[in-house]
A and B are shown apart, each in its own frame.
Chain A
Amino acid sequence: MIIQHPILGPRDAQEFVYLGDASLIERPDGMTAGVEAFHDYLYQRTNPAGEHRELWYHEQGDRSWLVVTRNTVTHEITRVELARDVARSKGRSK
């Protein structure tokens, strides 16, 4: 698979480390969320057959985190964003 890196252009997926569902960006607030919320965050997955937004880490490249939108049935990649931008749009990162 080739991932269209927003900064570096087309890169082989082998340069990346896969983490999982991009919902992992939205970690609950440790001061207010309960055990159940953290359980769901850490362990439960939607695991769709079809479009999936997921986190890839460019370990052998610029070490950026990406949010890749990929079809889990065809492996087709339709969108690649910097995870930083996605996190900011959710009001998470500074």
Chain B
Amino acid sequence: MRYSGFRVIAEALTGHKGWKPVWRDPTPQAEYDYIIIGGGGHGLATAYYLAKEFGQARIAVLEKGYLGGGNVGRNTTIIRSNYLLDGNEPFYEFSLKLWEGLEQDFNYNAMVSQRGIINLIHTDAQRDAFTRRGNGMILHGAGARMLSRDEVRAMYPWLNFDNARFPIKGALMQPRGGTVRHDAVAWGYARGADQRGVDLIQNCEVTGMRIENGRIRGVETTRGFIGAKKVGVAVAGSSSKVMAHAGMRLPMESHVLQAFVSEGLKPLIDGVMTFGAGHFYVSQSDKGGLVFGGDIDGYNSYAQRGNLPVIEDVAEGGMALMPAIGRVRLLRTWGGIMDMSMDGSPIIDRTGVEGLYFNGGWCYGGFKATPASGWCFAHLLAKDEPHKTATAYRFDRFLKGLMIDEKGQGAQPNLH
């Protein structure tokens, strides 16, 4: 069924009796050409592009829980391509271009809203660094603007401009950045993949991998053995657990990141904003809640829930930037498990096992990467060579000294 405005009107006039389930609930077949482990944003996007752009068939997505129940349903929904380094920026710009055409492409309303993102500047050194970043973005076609203090004031007059320690001096803006309805991304990709014959198999946990003579033969699951010619792993925070089935250790740690939403407010923030003096970023949802977040908790965790000190720290960041929210009540907080890599950048690569491919290490920037991650992983799976925007995302970059370390923190995952 194709969705459109006319369809909504037609269904409204006929009692909404024509709507069908959006995807099937198939029983796993004995063998597939491709198995994607992980039914989150990246896994579903991979399956979708494998079928649609690379013409592949006999594809299954295996999901331990329910589709989109992990980080794609837990993030703060921001999309942007404001990276500095050559290994990253073309990839994220490719992703942003895919976001711009996504809804027409998969015929689903993902509420892509390019409301603009600003990174606030508080010092001269920060202005220099953001100017350089903005120039890098412009060179890669991403577009960027430096805003003066007065321009920022015209947008958000109620910010704390004259804070004694962290006065606001301006901002780097990417007008094409914005937000997307995150659940709809998972649902849109799932529906698009299902329509093209992909089997989306939920409640199916991978418990082992069958590897013979250095080649993958399939995966053991809670629903029995499923054979496969190629297996792609896209499981974010569970990467180390799943790849341990293949005897691999990864250059990453799993950490918990919390996110927050306040009670609904009248329109206050029409774009996305990041505080430059502390780790705090915020946007306002269409329901009116302030959606914001900050640092990861900072210690290895698979708990999907964080602790109070980080909540306090994030709230302090918010108060320093926006004293006006002092009496706003927090509605919900939650946590997701981040696959924090050793240089803060992802991996989309082959492994030592023939036919086994890996996609992970997204740290807490995986959501914006979803379309390009799926596209590039599908490219790698179908053609056995990396997509041109993802050639740097290799396992061996740590051995060769080719790290992509945007923050320059070194091999310390909890600081990226």
Contacts and interface: CB of A to CB of B under 8 A. Distances in A.
B294 to A, nearest CB: 15
B215 to A, nearest CB: 23
A48 B240 contact: yes
Nearest to A56: B299
Nearest to A20: B253
B398 A39 contact: yes
* Interface class of chain B by DSSP: mixed
A33 interface: no
Interface string A33-60: 0011001101111111100101000000
Interface in A52-94: 52, 54, 70, 72-75
A18 B414 contact: yes
Contact of A45 (B252, B299, B302, B309): B252
Contacts, number: 67
Interface size grouping (class) on chain B:
20 to 34
A58 to B, nearest CB: 14
A73 B174 CA distance: 38
B412 interface: yes
Given A14-B309, A36-B399, A44 B250 contact: yes
A43 B309 CA distance: 28
B303 A43 contact: no
B69 interface: no
A8 interface: no
Given A20-B412, A45-B249, A45-B251, A54 B398 contact: no
A18 B310 CA distance: 14
Given A14-B309, A39-B398, A46-B240, A72 B300 contact: yes
A73 B301 CA distance: 6
B179 interface: no
> Which of A20, A21, A36, A54 gathers most chain B CB within 10 Å?
A20
Nearest to B410: A42
Nearest to B304: A73
Contacts of B302: 49, 72-73
Nearest to A74: B303
Contacts of A13: 299, 307, 309
A74 B300 CA distance: 11
Contacts of A70: 299
B298 interface: yes
A21 B300 CA distance: 9
Contact of A73 (B252, B298, B303, B307): B303
A49 to B, nearest CB: 4
B254 interface: yes
A21 B254 CA distance: 12
B413 A72 contact: no
Nearest to B397: A43
A74 B256 CA distance: 12
Nearest to B306: A75
Contacts of A39: 398-399
Contact of A75 (B240, B249, B301): B301
Interface string B244-283: 0000011111100000000000000000000000000000
Given A1-B307, A18-B298, A47 B398 contact: no
A10 B413 CA distance: 27
B140 interface: no
A55 to B, nearest CB: 10
A21 B253 CA distance: 9
B20 to A, nearest CB: 38
Given A14-B309, A70-B299, 12 more contacts: A13-B299, A20-B412, A39-B399, A43-B342, A44-B249, A46-B249, A47-B250, A47-B253, A47-B254, A72-B254, A72-B302, A75-B307
8 contacts: A40-B249, A42-B398, A43-B342, A43-B411, A45-B252, A49-B241, A73-B302, A74-B303
